[in-house]
Structure 1
Amino acid sequence: MAVTKEDIKELLIFTKGEKKGIIVLIILIILVIIFNQFSYLFYEEKPDDFDE
């Protein structure tokens, strides 16, 4: 599941004015960083017959 800009905008609107909004944004950023690390490892170990 990829996180799109629309999803982030919806989260921003949903958490706007809430005290938990900042915490949700921090968690979202951490999840994106972790996902980027895993996808980087995935692309590094990608098989050679993957390019078509």
Structure 2
Amino acid sequence: MLHDKDGFPTRRVYEGEPGRAELRLITCGGAFDGAGGRYTANVVVYARLVG
């Protein structure tokens, strides 16, 4: 999922279900803001153990 940096859902991304194996990969995404020297969004990939 692509999340704007200004509206990043911190609680949703960092709080998982207790007792369940989960993985979240967070990286840069969106357009690059050359003036600010950063990307405008983050890409979050969610994964969980199913078997």
Please tell me the TM-score bracket, short chain as reference: 0.3 to 0.5
Question: What TM-score, normalized to structure 1?
Answer: 0.32
| Higher percent of residues as helix | 1
The structure having more radius of gyration, on CA atoms, is 1
Question: What TM-score, normalized to structure 2?
Answer: 0.33
